[in-house]
């Protein structure tokens, strides 16, 4: 058969189209309303009623606005919920801008160090090109946030509030990446010209000084000490003077970050279950925490999440939120849009095939705060988002269990909930994790 598309083939397709029973109705609906509206399944709104048998009250959702800091907002949400309860501080927030400042500063140094390490490779090398494509960005992973807090601590939002460049980050990212690319090329030249390590590091420090200035002007200078002053929900006044960000985290948050590990569900042939993985070039703090993932079966992940929810602890998780979702209504369901019925075409792909082909990858982090269990099985999950109170149910979303199966890739679990065999698997693999390539889907950053 010919490899080219002939006119006879097109005529055959048109004849098939005109004889197809759904053509007239489906084309009118799709052309008038768009594919998603035309294929929307209204039964989803009934099935995803926001009622849950296990539910943790967490208060008013935060709002990341026009920035890609969902991973940061979600992680800090898991930390502020116990603080709110313990100290009677309704709607209290930790400073997302503080961790944002240090994340961008550390990512800049991380980029410089990787550029130095790959200076012997051609600019056209895929890994070098990968580094220069996006020197830094808003997105990140749980372990990266932990690395920042372990080094710099955390502060209340009232002490280091949001700025215009934090809430709408495109101009800052563009400015910083221009600077980093320029400096990165200079560092490569210094290395290739035979400059000593001390000379290269000295020039890098001068470059980091420029980065610090850009961040300080755009986001503000982070505090080294501050007074934590507040009135609790019972109208009692409190003040804690001259406290450092690390002291604040230890005293008011008190979470043992080492106890919380990243688990993933990646059912691809190259990732055996119960093995620990890391991703090349993925990180932010040099000398800090390494990004590590323990690969679990999806039902194992669900069981651990449910155990954690039952204990009263919410769960940070990563997913592909743009797939089969309705932002305004706050619904996440694989049956939300029936494009198969609209077009009479089979779109079915396995989770492994979606990951291997680039059809799906993690793009957003949120917090699981509840689950509805019927006959011992989860049917839907309550989700705290970081898009403010307008979307969904006052900022909360409802996720079907089938959507979980298809599009949830990561969950942070307290190690105390892991059975002994999984604890052993993590402990044995964490020191020398299997390295994945920089562009592996498990290296995707949460940013939506």
Is 109 catalytic? The answer is: no
| Residue 63 bridge partners (DSSP) | 387
φ, ψ for residue 86 (rounded to 5)? Answer: -65, -40
Is 364 catalytic? The answer is: yes
Task: From residue 195, give the alpha-carbon distance in Å to each of 30, 122, 192, 324.
Answer: 62, 18, 7, 53
φ, ψ for residue 257 (rounded to 5)? Answer: -65, -30
Which listed residue (70, 77, 260, 265) is catalytic?
70
Q: Which residues of 256-287 are buried (b: 16+ CB within 10 A; e: fewer)?
A: ebeebbbbbbbbbeebeebebbbbebbbbbee
Q: CA-to-CA distance for 316 and 8, rounded, in angstroms?
A: 55
Which listed residue (19, 173, 385, 414) is catalytic?
385
263 contact partners, CB below 8 Å, separation of at least 6: 293, 294, 295, 296, 301, 304, 410, 411, 412, 413
Q: CA-to-CA distance for 435 and 110, rounded, in angstroms?
A: 18
DSSP state of 193: T
Q: What secondary structure does DSSP assign to 303-365, as a single string?
A: HHHHHHHHTT--EEEEE-TTTTEETTTTEE-TTSB-HHHHHT------HHHHHHHTS----EE
Which listed residue (81, 260, 293, 364) is catalytic?
364
At CA 75, angle to CA 133 and CA 64, rounded to 5? Answer: 65
Task: From residue 229, give the alpha-carbon distance in Å to each of 72, 99, 237, 246.
Answer: 24, 20, 8, 17
Q: What is the 3-state secondary structure (H, E, C) of 132-173?
A: HHCCCCCCECHHHHHHHHHHHCCCECCCCCCCHHHHECHHHH
Place of tokens 């100290």: 87
CB 411 within 8 A of CB 142: no
Find, among 134, 210, 231, the residue nearest to 173 by Cα: 134
CB 436 within 8 A of CB 282: no
Is 385 catalytic? The answer is: yes
User: 197-219 and 96-117 helices cross at what angle (nearest 10)?
Assistant: 160
Residues designated catalytic = 70, 364, 385
């Amino acid at each position: 058969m010919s490899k080219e598309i002939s006119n006879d083939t097109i005529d055959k397709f048109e004849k098939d189209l005109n004889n197809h029973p759904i053509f007239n109705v489906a084309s009118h609906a799709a052309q008038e309303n768009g594919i998603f509206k035309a294929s929307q399944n209204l039964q989803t709104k009934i099935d995803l009623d926001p009622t849950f048998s296990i539910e943790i009250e967490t208060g008013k959702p935060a709002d990341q606005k026009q920035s890609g800091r969902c991973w940061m907002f979600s992680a800090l949400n898991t930390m502020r919920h116990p603080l709110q309860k313990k100290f009677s501080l309704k709607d209290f927030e930790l400073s997302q801008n503080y961790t944002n400042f240090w994340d961008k500063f550390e990512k800049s140094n991380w980029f410089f160090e990787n550029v130095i390490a790959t200076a012997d490779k051609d600019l056209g090398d895929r890994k070098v090109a990968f580094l220069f494509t996006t020197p830094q960005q808003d997105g990140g992973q749980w372990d990266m946030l932990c690395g920042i807090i372990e080094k710099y601590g955390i502060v209340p939002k009232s002490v280091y509030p949001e700025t215009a460049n934090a809430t709408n980050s495109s101009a800052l990212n563009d400015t910083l990446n221009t600077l980093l690319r320029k400096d990165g090329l200079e560092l490569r030249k210094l290395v290739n010209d035979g400059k000593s390590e001390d000379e290269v590091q000295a020039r890098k420090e001068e470059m980091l000084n420029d980065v610090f200035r850009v961040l300080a002007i755009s986001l503000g200078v982070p505090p080294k000490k501050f007074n934590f002053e507040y009135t609790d929900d019972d109208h009692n006044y409190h003040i804690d003077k001259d406290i450092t960000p690390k002291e604040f985290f230890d005293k008011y948050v008190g979470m043992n970050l080492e106890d919380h590990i990243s688990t993933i569900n990646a059912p691809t042939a190259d990732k055996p279950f119960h093995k620990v993985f890391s991703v090349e070039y993925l990180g932010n703090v040099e000398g800090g925490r390494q990004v590590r993932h323990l690969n679990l079966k999806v039902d194992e992940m669900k069981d651990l999440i449910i155990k954690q929810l039952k204990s009263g602890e919410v769960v940070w998780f990563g997913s592909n939120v743009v797939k089969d979702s309705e932002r305004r209504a706050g619904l996440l369901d694989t049956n939300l849009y029936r494009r198969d019925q609209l077009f009479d075409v089979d779109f079915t792909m396995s989770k492994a095939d979606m990951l291997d082909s680039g059809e799906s990858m993690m793009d957003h982090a949120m917090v699981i705060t509840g689950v509805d269990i019927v006959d011992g099985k989860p049917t839907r999950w309550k989700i705290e988002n970081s898009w403010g109170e307008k979307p969904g149910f006052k900022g909360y979303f409802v996720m079907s269990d089938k959507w979980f199966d298809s599009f949830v890739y990561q969950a942070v679990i307290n190690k105390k909930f892991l059975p002994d065999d999984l604890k052993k698997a993590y402990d044995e693999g964490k020191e020398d994790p299997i390295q994945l390539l920089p562009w592996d889907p498990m290296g995707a950053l949460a940013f939506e």
